Structure 1
């Protein structure tokens, strides 16, 4: 890959989602990402469900444009190899619980001593300090504590988890922003720094509007289905066949669906009134929409320049012409054979070009990295192997068969 981050080397010690998404994003932008895995690999490799030749779909989703190097940091020789990589790298990223990196001998104080220019990025659950510091956390618990689950779902219904892992994705994006900001600052100061981004903090940041809404009104925000807090009509509406998703285009929506009389109804005459009577307005719109299919209504809405779109399922998304025009569906040739279909990166830049690489199998690049970057002789490689401090890909077939 060539891109704005070409020449930046990232060492990623990560599992599951937030860390892998952050490092993958930097890899998409041209960074060299070396995924440092323990002997058993990233835990997402072991998740059950759909797979490609034994490689978990969860792992495949978030690990393209990376090299897999297996080092056991619990061994002296494995740790020394990691330290050698730190000396020639720019970023060390991890999404472990607080204190784990220190126990591995890889805390910021240690790494800074090896390389004063290193940027250490820690993606934690509840944060590096505070009363919740040592609690285990995943995206659903962060979504619960941050209030995301309290505003997601249908009015009066049970809390609903957003389809995508919003808290993890938010954490990853803020981590990328923090990393790039730190690298930019390093250009001025000549030194790196320690960065912390928490799952909880990123989740609360995504609740910015709801928090301000509450502060200004004293009203506790509630779930609105697919609606939006300050405008109606808005959201997904059922038609004769399928759903349409409508944006804020009142009163043109009323005219387009042949229900212009709604604009004269006192319940819907003002924006404030429509919010108060949102449920009644939605019901009236759906009464009109059942007269035609989603496809037929969309032709009408587009002709009137009304903000509208279809509600597509994943099988429809992957063949959507605009989605593919934006290069958002990638077919990557996998080292085990065949191709892997993954979602692309939405960033388009003049300086960004190159071929994406498929997610690596466990230990696929250990030999290459230790030889080409660290110039380790064969004798040292044999020693690492004999001490089980490094894995050169020999156990990957065994691991896949066990799954």
Structure 2
């Protein structure tokens, strides 16, 4: 008996999207069984096909963001190309685009036009800044959203230049919100027969990612302490999340959420007596006291530098304190919990004749498991997709000759 592939079987998506935030929502849906058609230009396709191309393996950027989807090439500057797009949209549940604001409307596939073709359509538009602000007309990127949304400041270190992270957290956050928003709107459309447009932005997703820390800053009207330690809570119930290096320079982190945690953690590490003598029996003394916070962190730096990361983490975990090594990206990809849960897996690439490590899936469905695919060649699915619309071999040859597909 074959196992059904993913809980989104029967969901049809058409995407005129590029880059990362605009493609990852539909890649995730393809992992979960949705039929996703990616529209690309016949002349070169999605520009991200040419980003970070590794010899003998292709583009890691394109592969990570477009696996499992179908590639259909259409010249959307031609009326025939737009007519084919409308035929595809008429049969779709979801349409996605992340063109520069106004471009979709200019090219004939804005919300107002496509809703006439399919009143049940869920139309997802992703932008940099959002649809209504003073900079709505500007293009956006991951680093721009990280900078504006607060994460560059949140992860800054005193005395060092602020920077955006190497991982595209703004792109990915927006993509995951688009994934959820599209499915929410699809549920409404299937219940009521009424589709709708959803606007999301890189900036909006980044602000959401700041979570309760942003709300605390707004209520206090004061920026949080950044750098090595994140100090939270109140004098009576302090909290801390902090990182330290062991004697070999290997970093670890632990997080505490109250006064009892503090004594338990420091006792397990063998630090408590030393800290008590230095006036740090109570973690609350560092709340709203920068000098004492700096002194405590310096003391802990010295203490953690006397042993090994594995030992410190084991002691803390043994005392039921949340602690973990701080992994590099490669360490994360080989972490035993990451591997055991399939968050990183291997996929066979027939064209390359070998398996390669890729993202797994963050979900585990008991009845309809996800199945990671591989990214398509440009226009790979032209014949199969357009054939279902009624274009025979002769018609397809004619469209190719006239550069419509």
TM-score (norm 2): 0.90
In structure 2, stretches of 5+ residues that fail to align are none
- 1:247, CA displacement in angstroms? 1.7
- 1:168, CA displacement in angstroms? 1.0
Distance 1:238 1:58, change over 3 A: same
C-alpha contact 1:27 1:66 (8 A) present in aligned 2: yes
Residues 79-99 of structure 1 deviation map (CA, whole Å, 9 limit, x = unaligned): 222111111111110111111
- 1:344, CA displacement in angstroms? 1.6
C-alpha contact 1:150 1:222 (8 A) present in aligned 2: no
Task: Tell me the number of residue pairs that the alignment of Structure 1 and Structure 2 aligns.
Answer: 388
* Residues in 2 aligned to 1:114 and 1:304: alpha-carbon distance in whole angstroms: 61
Q: Secondary structure at the match of 2:324?
A: strand
- 1:264, CA displacement in angstroms? 5.6
Deviates more, 1:220-229 or 1:177-186: 220-229
* Residues in 1 aligned to 2:129 and 2:17: alpha-carbon distance in whole angstroms: 17
Distance 1:268 1:153, change over 3 A: farther
State the partner residue of 2:207.
204
* Residues in 2 aligned to 1:222 and 1:285: alpha-carbon distance in whole angstroms: 18
1:41 aligns with 2:54: no
Among candidates 351, 367, 376, match of residue 360 of structure 1: 376
Deviates more, 1:224-233 or 1:340-349: 224-233
State the partner residue of 1:128.
131
Among candidates 246, 251, 260, match of residue 272 of structure 2: 260
* Residues in 1 aligned to 2:348 and 2:331: alpha-carbon distance in whole angstroms: 22
C-alpha contact 2:243 2:253 (8 A) present in aligned 1: yes
Among candidates 234, 238, 246, match of residue 239 of structure 1: 246
Residues 319-338 of structure 1 deviation map (CA, whole Å, 9 limit, x = unaligned): 22221111111222225223
* Residues in 2 aligned to 1:355 and 1:202: alpha-carbon distance in whole angstroms: 26
Q: CA RMSD in A?
A: 2.0
Q: Secondary structure at the match of 1:154?
A: coil
- 1:194, CA displacement in angstroms? 1.0
State the partner residue of 1:280.
295
* Residues in 2 aligned to 1:253 and 1:270: alpha-carbon distance in whole angstroms: 11
Deviates more, 1:330-339 or 1:76-85: 330-339
C-alpha contact 1:334 1:359 (8 A) present in aligned 2: no
Among candidates 214, 218, 226, match of residue 217 of structure 2: 214
- 1:207, CA displacement in angstroms? 2.4
State the partner residue of 2:390.
375
TM-score (norm 1): 0.90
Among candidates 155, 167, 171, match of residue 158 of structure 2: 155
C-alpha contact 2:68 2:375 (8 A) present in aligned 1: yes
C-alpha contact 1:333 1:357 (8 A) present in aligned 2: no
* Residues in 2 aligned to 1:352 and 1:155: alpha-carbon distance in whole angstroms: 48
Q: Secondary structure at the match of 1:246?
A: strand
- 1:265, CA displacement in angstroms? 4.2
State the partner residue of 1:115.
118
C-alpha contact 2:76 2:82 (8 A) present in aligned 1: yes
- 1:313, CA displacement in angstroms? 2.0
1:166-181 alignment runs, 5 A limit: 166-181=169-184
Q: Secondary structure at the match of 1:250?
A: helix
Among candidates 227, 231, 244, match of residue 230 of structure 2: 227
Deviates more, 1:240-249 or 1:165-174: 240-249
1:248-327 alignment runs, 5 A limit: 248=256, 249-261=261-273, 262-263=275-276, 265-267=278-280, 269-273=282-286, 276=289, 277-327=292-342
- 1:151, CA displacement in angstroms? 1.9
Q: Secondary structure at the match of 2:23?
A: helix
Distance 1:19 1:323, change over 3 A: same
- 1:187, CA displacement in angstroms? 2.0
State the partner residue of 1:329.
344
- 1:107, CA displacement in angstroms? 0.8
1:69 aligns with 2:72: yes
State the partner residue of 2:63.
60
State the partner residue of 2:141.
138
In structure 1, stretches of 5+ residues that fail to align are 391-403
